[in-house]
Each structure stands twice: as structure tokens, then as C-alpha cells.
């Protein structure tokens, strides 16, 4: 299966921590962009395999629902849907309307991913977001009556000013809304954002590593107790509601990205479209190659990427699948890395494979990075 990712980069406002390819919404720019995106999709080579579709951003629901429906029809005419189909759209809650959700469902959307981040007013404002808890509840209720199968809430921890109590309260409010899926990400301060300047000026405003670990543990405990399966470092699902699009990504599967800044991966080559909006629009609308950066992942680097992605998941890495795909005996090849982690209780190894222990999940990024750096 291949994932189709489509980037819709316009937002009603710009959040100070955001490092995505995004621009403030302007009608004329949004229209030109949709035309260019349509041209890029029309020019793509079709293939006969199954696909999941993910409309991400940016804020996809700055576009009218009929434009989203038109975009999905264009994608569907070229790429056959996975069976069962999974078509996700990310939305900002304050822009959600019941009519739009019904139109999405009619156009084939099966999954709604709502950017909540927090239910605590002061944290929502600190993050520069403009919704409130009532708008999230209304969006979830509207999604339920629209016929969309699966509702996911994005939450964020390690937000400046966040406490264990406030995070617990956001988790409890999220759980009370009975979503099918929750993503809980630790805030990463990216260089070049206003948050990076803030952290440089006032590092103590940001939670330290100990508090961040406690907040992550709180999320795992609260969500698992509520019946969610912790199936990836940052992702929790009720049975039958894992995100197939992202599961393909973690399985090191192939994906095709459309739009400014979108990434693709296929035949060992990873490429990322330019993040220059004008350069993207002009190339796509003139049928020229979209400027991009690409690299061929070979040998150890390709295998290391696969290990890094697989260890993010609850099932971890399968030795048999790894050997079949990369021709390597995992335990022999990575012995110098695996043993110390196993002895430290961070990695669990049995006859079939390796996976992070609960303690290992807290330092997942560090552990995963070591598999990439092995020459």
C-alpha cells in the first residue's frame, strides 16, 4: 500500500511554535495554490496499488468543503482507494461546521484529525491557537453525526506553563469526548520559530526533561486506562482505529507527497518538494519538475531508517521481515547497540524481534537515532 499525502498550507493564523510549511490564508493565494496542486496531481503517474489519503497542513479546512471534495475526487480518479478506505483530513476546531463534515463524509473522508493541543484556556493562548474547549466538543459531536468513522484528537504536552494537573485535565476532557484515536506529542522547539527566541530569552518558561517525562507517563497511564492501545510512541487508538496511513510510514512503506514542502519516499529515494510557495506554484502550474531535495538511502542508512521507524511502534521490529528486506541479521549487525540497551532495560528482545520497553519509550528518540548513525 502507498500513502498519498496532500499538503494544504494555509492557516487562519500562524502559531509561534510551528515549523511546518504554512502561510496565512489569503483567498487569491489559496486559489492559485489549489489550481497548481490539481495540476501536479493530474500530471502524476497513476499506479494500480491501493492508497490511503491524508490531507494535512497547514489547516486544510481553510478551504471550502466543495474544494476539498473536488480535490478528493481528483485523487480518487487517479489512485485506487485502500480497502477499507482511509481518507484523513486535519482540521482546526474553530473552523469546523456540521455541513462541511457532512460534505467531507460524502466525498469519502473516513477520519477526522482535530488539532486540539490543549483544553486549558491559558495553554491554548500560549500556543497561539484561537479555539476553545466548547468548539472542540461541538466538532466531535458534529463528526459523530456526519458519518465520519474515526475521530482523532491531537494533544500537546511540555507546553510552557503546563503542569501535571493541567495536562491531566486536558487528557480527562479528551477521554470524556470518547475519541477513537489520540495523538499526544511533546512540544519540540524548532530553531527559527518565535518559540526558539522565547526559549533563548527565558529557558525556565519551558518544562524541563523530568517534567516532560512525567507528562508523557501521565498520558500513557490515562489513555491506556481508558482503553486506548499505545501503538506508537505518540499515538493511541481504540481497537480498529489505528491510523493506516501513518502505520505504512512507520513500516517504511512508500508514500507520495503532493504540494509545497511535501515529502515522498519510493525505491529507496526520499525527496522533499521546495518550501518556496511561489516556486512550487509556478513549477506545478507550468508542468515543470517541482524543485526538490532528494537523497538515495542505501545500505546501512536505509536499514537504520527502517529500524528507527519500526521501534516507534508497539510491535517493534520483526527479525524475519528485516532479514528479508535488508539481508541483515539484526542482532548480529547491531550487537554493539542492542546489548547496552537490553542490559539497561530499554529494549526487549525475544526470538521474533525487538521492541522498546515502557522505560525505553521515554528516550525513544535517542535510542532510534543511534541506529541511524551506525556506519
Binding site residues, ligand SF4, CB under 6 A: 11, 14-15, 18, 20, 22, 57-59, 92, 115
Q: Could you give the CA distance from residue 286 to residue 102 in angstroms, rounded to a whole number?
A: 34
Residues 39, 231: Cα–Cα separation, whole Å:
37
Is residue 65 within 8 A of residue 89, CB to CB? The reply is no
Shortest distance, position 16 Cβ to ligand SF4, whole Å: 9
Specify the residue, 2 or 92, whose C-beta has the smaller distance to ligand SF4: 92
14 or 369, CB closer to ligand SF4?
14
Q: Which residue has its beta carbon closest to ligand SF4? A: 18
Structural contact between residues 327 and 319, judged by C-beta atoms closer than 8 angstroms: no
Grid cell in block for residue 87: 481518507
Which three three-digit cell numbers place residue 259?
504540494
d(CA 232, CA 246): 10
Give least dist CB 152 to ligand SF4, A: 15
Question: Residue 194 Cβ, how far from ligand SF4 at the closest point, in Å?
Answer: 11
In sequence order, what are the beta bridge partners of 205?
A: none
Distance CA 208, CA 194 (A): 19
> Between residues 14 and 335, which has the closer beta carbon with respect to ligand SF4?
14
Min. distance of Cβ 195 from ligand SF4 in angstroms?
11
Assigned C-alpha cell, 17: 511554535
How far apart CA 75 and CA 47 sit, in angstroms, is 12
Nearer Cβ to ligand SF4, position 115 or 316?
Answer: 115
Q: Where are the alpha helices (DSSP H) in 58-120?
A: 65-78, 98-106
Q: How far is the CB of 72 from ligand SF4 (least distance, A)?
A: 20
Q: How far is CA 373 from CA 205, 250, 308, 317, in A?
A: 32, 19, 11, 18
Q: How far is the CB of 128 from ligand SF4 (least distance, A)?
A: 7
Q: Which C-beta is closer to ligand SF4: that of 38 or that of 117?
A: 117
Instruction: Compare residues 127 and 356 and give the one whose CB is closer to ligand SF4.
Output: 127
Distance CA 11, CA 26 (A): 9
Cβ 185 to ligand SF4 shortest distance, Å: 11
- Closest to ligand SF4 by CB, 1 vs 189, is 189
Q: Nearest-CA neighbor of 218 among 152, 157, 174, 133?
A: 157
Amino acid at each position: 500500500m502507498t500513502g498519498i499525502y496532500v499538503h494544504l498550507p494555509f492557516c487562519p493564523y500562524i502559531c509561534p511554535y510551528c515549523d511546518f510549511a504554512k502561510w496565512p490564508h489569503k483567498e487569491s493565494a489559496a486559489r492559485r495554490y489549489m489550481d497548481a496542486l490539481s495540476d501536479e496531481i493530474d500530471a502524476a503517474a497513476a499506479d494500480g496499488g491501493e492508497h490511503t489519503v491524508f490531507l494535512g497542513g497547514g489547516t486544510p479546512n481553510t478551504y471550502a468543503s466543495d474544494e476539498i471534495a473536488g480535490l478528493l475526487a481528483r485523487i480518487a480518479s487517479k489512485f485506487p482507494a485502500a480497502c477499507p478506505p482511509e481518507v484523513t483530513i486535519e482540521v482546526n476546531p474553530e473552523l469546523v461546521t456540521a455541513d462541511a463534515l457532512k460534505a467531507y463524509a460524502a466525498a469519502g473522508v473516513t477520519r477526522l484529525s482535530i488539532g486540539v493541543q490543549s483544553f486549558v484556556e491559558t495553554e491554548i493562548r500560549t500556543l497561539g491557537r484561537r479555539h476553545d474547549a466548547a468548539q472542540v466538543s461541538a466538532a466531535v459531536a458534529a463528526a459523530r453525526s456526519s458519518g465520519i468513522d474515526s475521530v482523532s484528537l491531537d494533544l500537546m504536552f511540555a507546553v510552557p506553563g503546563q503542569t501535571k494537573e493541567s495536562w491531566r485535565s486536558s487528557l480527562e476532557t479528551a477521554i470524556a469526548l470518547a475519541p477513537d484515536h489520540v495523538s499526544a506529542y511533546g512540544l519540540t522547539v524548532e530553531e527559527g520559530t518565535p518559540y526558539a527566541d522565547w526559549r533563548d530569552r527565558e529557558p525556565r518558561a519551558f518544562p524541563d526533561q523530568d517534567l516532560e517525562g512525567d507528562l508523557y507517563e501521565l498520558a500513557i497511564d490515562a489513555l491506556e486506562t481508558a482503553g486506548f492501545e499505545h501503538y506508537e510512541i505518540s499515538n493511541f487508538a481504540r481497537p480498529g482505529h489505528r491510523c493506516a496511513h501513518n502505520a505504512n510510514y512507520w513500516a517504511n512503506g512508500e508514500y507520495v507527497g503532493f504540494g509545497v514542502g511535501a515529502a515522498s519516499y519510493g525505491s529507496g529515494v526520499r525527496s522533499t518538494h521546495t518550501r518556496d510557495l511561489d516556486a512550487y506554484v509556478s513549477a506545478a502550474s507550468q508542468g515543470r519538475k517541482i524543485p526538490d531535495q532528494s537523497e538515495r538511502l542505501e545500505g546501512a542508512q536505509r536499514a537504520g531508517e527502517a529500524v528507527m521507524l519500526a521501534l516507534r511502534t508497539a510491535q517493534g521490529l520483526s527479525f524475519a521481515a528485516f532479514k528479508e528486506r535488508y539481508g541483515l541479521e539484526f542482532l548480529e549487525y547491531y550487537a554493539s547497540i542492542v546489548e547496552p540497551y537490553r542490559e539497561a532495560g530499554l529494549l526487549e528482545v525475544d526470538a521474533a524481534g525487538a521492541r522498546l520497553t515502557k522505560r525505553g519509550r521515554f528516550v525513544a528518540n535517542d535510542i532510534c537515532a543511534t541506529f541511524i548513525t551506525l556506519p
